[in-house]
Amino acid sequence: MNENIELLDFYAEWCGPCQMMKPIIEELEKEIGDKVKITKVNVDENQNLASEYEVMSLPTFIIKKDKQIVDKISGEISKSELMKKLV
């Protein structure tokens, strides 16, 4: 069964931890971007979407499989932990 996996990365330019996660997300895009759709969501520009997903802190990562939310992570996470959750 081929699942459609998506990672939503909720961030803000002014968020220090978000900036620390940026290179990790970029590495994931290079490594698994063909298997996982990665969408970066600037909360300052997309407040409605952040509200819809009840994003209360940054960064927040939401993992969806077949359009269903399967995980929500707030704060920093290691690349290896995030990778485990995605594949």
Q: Which residues are tagged catalytic? A: 15, 18
Given a contact cutoff of 8 angstroms between Cβ atoms, the answer to whether 85 and 4 are in contact is no
Residue 66 Rama label (left phi>0; alpha psi -120 to 50; beta): left
Given a contact cutoff of 8 angstroms between Cβ atoms, the answer to whether 86 and 33 are in contact is no
Given a contact cutoff of 8 angstroms between Cβ atoms, the answer to whether 41 and 10 are in contact is yes
